[in-house]
Amino acid sequence: MPSRAPASNTTPASDLASHPSGGGRKVGFVSLGCPKALVDSERILTQLKVEGYDIVQTYDDADVVVVNTCGFIDSAVEESLDAIGEAMAENGKVIVTGCLGKRPEQIRETHPGVLAITGPQDYRSVMEAVHRALPPTHDPFVDLVPRRQDDNDIGVKLTPKHYAYLKISEGCNHRCSFCIIPSMRGDLVSRPIDEVLREAEKLAMGGVKELLVISQDTSAYGVDLKYAERAWRGNTYQTRMKSLCAGLSELGIWTRLHYVYPYPHVDEILPLMAERRDGVPALLPYLDIPFQHASPRVLKLMKRPGAVDKTLERIVRWRDICPDITIRSTFIVGFPGETDQEFEELLDFLDEAQLDRVGAFAYSPVDGAAANALPDPVAEEVKQERLVRFMQRQAEISEAKLADKIGSVQRCLVDLLDGELALARSMADAPEIDGLVQIQNGLEAGLRPGQFVDVEIMGSDEHDLYGEVRIER
């Protein structure tokens, strides 16, 4: 479908295969935003497919276009408005959904002709808008057959067959001052644990080898349901992070946790990360845990937990329990009021914490965020200069940590073949955001996407590892 390049971590619906004929009712789909928005796209596409709509790949072929938007930072808003504009110009019948849908006035100001606007996770309203634009038709053959999905049908997936995002909750109970997600997606609403585990089981049975658990706050999972107990496979599980990890560990595939908020009870899942069952980690030794800053005062301004000494102690403890754990984090530099001294504290934290993977952003005001009202904004050139220094410092750490892996054998999951190479990921690499393991003899070894393979690591740089698989002759 559209040529638009989506924001990171998204896959354009253009990558979808064609779906069975829906009696001529054709829908185009543009998916922008984070993995959570991607899961929303998958659910809408699945429902469209269940109702017999065709998903088409060009604006010309579509009778109506759905644009799933992102509205988190200004550049994402701009990209979403551009995507809507492109769909309006190329097709003219456009339904907008997703995070930017929470600001309908902003959309209508630029694109007054859109057919309908709905917010994130509002699948029903999107379908109602599609029904209004393309009324369901009576098909005597199809309508006599109940449109029920098979128990093992995992719906439309926008990720490759061998990994899938597993969304466990919507919304967030925190109020970080730089973030508008709670105002767009509301307070935390968890999915009951049996529903999540059943979905995970179906995905595993459908060939998924790696589950990526996503939410706004994975550590808070179940708090809104008072950790309700549910049954799955004859056992009782509480709706909480620890039980979720225990349940997922039964599937015998990789499970990777994202967006873990730094609460003390994160410690409880470390033993599962250290445990191996037939060589497979019960839970991938990988924590994506956004710390955002290391100065207690800046963290307080961000309305985030500020006990940095305790954080460092806990990182040491995690590594004691699970020595091969990979810790990924994200940080904001140049937050309003951040002094030179506080920025230096952040660099010191990097030196001490020795994190494996780090992403960073220069603070940019988000329309509607409480942080906009804070005094002493940091000048743009200072923010950029701090960002460069921060990333340089971390690049040295990451490079050294990857170099330490030379000579080791890493279990990897192959993502794709690229000429002679197979591009794979180790347990330390989440798709899209981390590095790769480039297997030099992937073609010769006959590797296939979705295959697990042991790779001898022979080289590294600051992002990726390079290696070979042993070929028995």
User: Residues in the site for ligand SF4, rule: CB under 6 A?
Assistant: 172, 174-176, 179, 181-182, 216-217, 261
Nearer to ligand SF4, 196 or 260 (CB): 260
Residues 93, 64: contact at Cβ < 8 Å? yes
Nearer to ligand SF4, 133 or 172 (CB): 172
Nearer to ligand SF4, 99 or 327 (CB): 99
What's the min distance (Å) between Cβ of 181 and ligand SF4?
4
Residue 232 phi/psi, 5° resolution?
-150, 130
Nearer to ligand SF4, 220 or 469 (CB): 220
What's the min distance (Å) between Cβ of 261 and ligand SF4?
6
Residues 427 and 288: their CA atoms lie apart, in Å, by: 13
Instruction: Decide: residue 285, CB within 10 A, 0-12 exposed, 13-18 middle, 19+ buried.
Output: buried
Q: Distance of CA 373 to CAs 259, 294, 296, 377, Å?
A: 26, 21, 19, 10
Location of structure tokens 């009870």: 265
Q: Helices 340-353 and 308-321, interaxial angle, to 10°?
A: 10
DSSP result, 41-81 = HHHHHHHHHHTTPEEESSTTT-SEEEEEE--SSHHHHHHHH
What's the min distance (Å) between Cβ of 168 and ligand SF4?
14
What's the min distance (Å) between Cβ of 120 and ligand SF4?
12
Nearer to ligand SF4, 253 or 289 (CB): 289
What's the min distance (Å) between Cβ of 186 and ligand SF4?
11
Nearer to ligand SF4, 186 or 271 (CB): 186
Residues 282 and 277: their CA atoms lie apart, in Å, by: 6
What's the min distance (Å) between Cβ of 330 and ligand SF4?
10
Residues 269 and 256: their CA atoms lie apart, in Å, by: 12
Instruction: Decide: residue 129, CB within 10 A, 0-12 exposed, 13-18 middle, 19+ buried.
Output: buried
